[in-house]
Amino acid sequence: MFSLFLLTGCIGEKKEVKKNKIVTSNWIGYAPILYAYEIGDLEKLNIELIVSSSLQSSVLMYKKNKLDGICSTKIEIDYINQSENKSLHITPISIFNRSYGGDVIFIESTKNDKILVFDFLSVNNNSFTKTQIKKLQNIINKSINTLQNNPKKVFESIKFYYDDITYEEFNTLLTEIKLFSKERKDIFLSLIKKEKICNKQNYLKEQ
C-alpha cells in the first residue's frame, strides 16, 4: 500500500511540458515553417504553430497571448520591440526570404535594392535556449531547401492553408521572393547590415 501511494504521488506530480507557441501568417514566404509543422519537425522541439490570416493579426495574437515567436518583417519586429513591456521583445533568428517583386512600396518594386523587405522568424528573448534556437534554425533551413528543390512536395503538404490556390499559382508566387540559402547568406546579411534592417544579427550569422 505504501509503495502504491508513492507511485500514485509521483504520477500526480508529473507536469505537462509547456509548448512554445509561434505565430505565422499563411503568406507564401512562410511556407517553410508551415511545412516543418505539418511533417512533425516542430513537434520534436515541442513547438506549436498558430496560423493567422495576416501580419497584423500575427502581431495582435503575439502581444495579446504573450506567445514565444513570430514570423514577420522588420516593421512588425520594430513595433513589438518598441513596447514598454520588455518581456515581449523579440530577436530575429532566421531569414526566410527576401521579397523580390512580391511587394510594391511607393510605386517602387522590391526588386530594387533600395526597397528591401526581408521575412524573419523571431523569438521571444526568454523562451528558447541557444541549443533550441540552433535546432530550430536547422529545421527552417531544411524546409527552405525542400521548398527550393521540391516545391510540389511542400505544396501538397500545406495547400489547405491557402484558399483554392493551384500548384501553378503557388509556383508563380515563389518567383516573387528569393529564398534564403547558404549561397545567398552573405549578400542577405550585407544588405541587412547596410540598410540597418536588423540591429541584432548574431543568430542570423549562425543560420
d(CA 207, CA 203): 7
CA–CA gap between residue 141 and residue 136 (Å, rounded): 9
Which fold does the domain 19-96+118-174 belong to in CATH?
Answer: D-Maltodextrin-Binding Protein; domain 2 (3.40.190)
Contact predicate 79/70, CB 8 Å: no
Q: How far apart (Å, rounded) are the C-alpha atoms in residues 29 and 95?
A: 10
Q: What is the pLDDT of residues 84-94, one digit of tens each?
A: 999 999 999 99
Indicate the domain borders of the chain: 19-96+118-174
What pLDDT band is residue 103 in, cutting at 50, 70 and 90? low
CA 154, CA 50: separation in Å to the nearest integer?
Answer: 18
- Alpha-carbon distance of 132 to 66, in angstroms, equals 19
Measured distance CA(91)–CA(4) in Å, rounded = 48
123-174 per-position pLDDT tens digit: 998 999 999 999 999 999 999 999 999 999 999 999 999 988 999 999 999 9
Gyration radius (Cα) of the chain, Å:
19
Whole-prediction pTM: 0.88
Residue 87 near residue 126, CB atoms below 8 Å: yes
